[in-house]
Amino acid sequence: RSPSVIHVSPGMCHFLSAQPFCSLHLQLQMSENPYLSGSISTKSSAPGVIVATGNIGSELSYNNVAMFISSDAGNNWRQIFEEEHNVWFLDKGGALVAVKQPTVPTRHLWISFDEGRQWTRHSFSALPLFVDGVLVEAGAENQIMTFFGHFSHRSEWQLIKIDYKSIFTRRCTEGDYQTWHLHNQGEPCIMGQKQIYMKRRPGNYCMVGWDNSRILSAEPCICRAHDFECDYGFDRRGDGNCLPAFWFNPSTLSRSCSQGQNYLNSTGYRKVVANNCTKGVKEMYTARKQQCLNRPPRGLVLTTHDDKLTANMGSNVTFLVRLEEGDSMRTNIQLDFGDGTAVSYSNLSWTQEGIRHVYRSAGIFRVTTLAENSLGFDTSSLHLHVTCPVEHIQLLAPYVVIKNKEVNLTAVVWPSHFRTLTYFWWLGNNTEPIITLDSSISHTFSTEGMVTVTVQVSSGDSILQNTRSIAIQEFFKSLLLSFSPNLDEANPDIPEWRQDVGRVIKKAVADIPEEQLLVAVFPGIPTAAELFLLPSRNQSDGRKRTEEDLEQISEILVNALNQISVEFELKPGSRVIVYITQLTLGNKTVVLHTVCSYSDDLVDICSVQLLIFDYISQKIPWINIYAEVNHEKEQEMISTVGQNDATPKITLNEFSTQKELMEKELEACAKRE
């Protein structure tokens, strides 16, 4: 319902003297039933006649609704019924028929020949009928209307045809018509015209039979201010003038306007659509033709076609360039995509459908555009994030670290990216992550025990993560192990296999508590492992083991390994012997401190650090001691008891660098996929 307020004639207000003002409020409600009249209805063959539903008072109300009619196009109104009715135009508007709303059954209809001033009642049914609709058949000789409805809510449909030709005594002649002047509160000029109509005199009981209402004359009026409205971008202010809105710049020229051409410069007004006025103030308010001037470019805007600042690597990206001011036909446009390529256009019209480009690598690219002509230039830029979906992520971290000593954590992703990833680091029990754009961070753990480190990488709308457990100790020792070659023959190179080997080794070292051992089996190199000795508490007295205790345990392990007493059965008839590894390089001894990480996606990477120490006359049994910074000890070297001279010797150049190892592992992963 959309309300309209129309002031009634003064004669209707004498009984509403208590109201603050007297207005007629019309209800504009479209009926879903096409065979009902609607709340406001009119007909072109009955000029000036409007029938409407509404109420009188200070505001629109759905109570006390009545029916009203106007014979002069809404200048004055009269009430015709105190209840809602459906009203139809008969005989080309020469008569009106009214029936109560279908919510109330009725046997009667009302007919008026004088535009609703007088109504006569007629019966159309022997029983009260709920009228659901009326169909008025068209045609010059067809004066039939059909009522359809039902006697009760459960009864069948009823159709009643009425031939109303008999209520007219004769056909209308020329003397039955009169002229009628269209006006608005006495103003004869409506939409720039004075119009005079011919219509039947109210109260003449004659049949029109054909559409005899016509315009006798339509004379154009002189244009006045009210024939014009505010143009686009202008608002009407309190003094009645149309002035530019706060968001509109009237000096902005069309982008297609080029030097030597003409354009229409708005005065802030435009004539109302379908208004037919002439002369008068028309020239004053009509837009004026002006010559285009060459202007420097201003308001250069660079966007993508979908206004997004992200794109997938290898996909088409469409850039749009807009210029608010300046001669677009004489302005050079340059666009630098930020990846080493650029394009140039002689004018802006070449870029109307957008400029497409494909990025072949991931990264953050600064895209810039330059608009330049003989009078100046303007620039605009945006930063486009080109991403490639991450397939794998690998967290590189040591298995054991020293308390209060800084340790490096690194995340390796595949395929490799460049400045487009966000990393979320969850360290231990921290409730908030550390967020970085770098794939590595340094962190110091201050509490002993096992901690869980998780790294998540965000790429576009996808997130992957990898988790590692790290033992935090005040000190620990490690021992580099190797196996007899037959173990490597059964190596499927998967994390689960290496974990099983570690558990078997811990079980084979029966004299050392299992919670004190941590075994890491290396992937990607000849089968090897690093055994960590952790200072757990003694089960007998609850005393935490000291560095001296670890030295004693390490001696037991060295003796056991040198005596080939640590072994396990791989399969029937195939036993694997665990050795202690020692590498000798001239007068130097090379100690391998290896940090490995494993994941379920079969991408396994080791970080191998080569630590070279001055050679001492004794051979080193590969026991490394790590201590807290504030009481760090020099690395102790314990002599080997019965070391086998047949231990294989490996030169330094046989070891790959950390970068080479990573590349080899990633290549192997890609081949497996």
Mean pLDDT of 389-417: 88
Whether 370 shows a pLDDT value over 90: the answer reads: yes
Question: Higher model confidence: residue 483 or residue 335?
Answer: 335
What proportion of the chain, given as a percentage, has pLDDT over 70?
77
pLDDT band for position 15 (cuts 50, 70, 90): very low
For each of the domains in the chain, give its residue range(s) and CATH number, in order of start.
Answer: 23-167 (no CATH), 225-292 (3.30.60), 298-387 (2.60.40.10), 477-586 (no CATH)
232 pLDDT band, cuts 50/70/90, is very high
pLDDT band at 42 (very low <50, low <70, confident <90, very high): confident
Q: What is the pTM of this model?
A: 0.46
Which residues, at least 6 apart from 449, have a Cβ–Cβ distance to it below 8 Å?
471, 472
Look-up of token digits 């089996």: 521
Strand pairing of 400-402 and 462-473?
Answer: parallel
Cα distance between residue 192 and residue 271, in whole Å? 10
Contact criterion met (CB below 8 Å) for 207 and 73: no
- Does residue 33 have a pLDDT over 80? no
Asked if residue 165 lies in contact with residue 136, where contact means CB atoms within 8 angstroms, the answer is no
Confidence of residue 511 (pLDDT cuts 50, 70, 90): low
Query: Which H/E stretch holds residue 161?
Result: strand 158-163
Q: Tell which residue, 548, 524, 550, has the closest CA to residue 658.
A: 524
User: Which pLDDT score is estimated for 539?
Assistant: 55
* 612 vs 389, residue with greater confidence: 389
In this predicted structure, the answer to whether residue 501 has a pLDDT above a threshold of 70 is yes
Cis peptide before 202 (omega within 30 of 0): no
Average pLDDT, the chain: 77
Q: What is the distance between the alpha carbons of residues 175 and 177, in angstroms, rounded to a whole number?
A: 5
pLDDT per residue as tens digits for the range 65-108 = 999 999 999 999 999 999 888 898 887 777 888 988 877 888 88
The pLDDT score that the predictor gives to residue 142 is: 62
Interatomic CA distance for residues 307 and 225, integer angstroms: 43
Separation between Cα atoms, residue 185 and residue 215, nearest integer Å: 20
pLDDT digit string, tens, across residues 571-614 = 888 888 888 775 433 333 333 333 333 333 323 333 333 333 33
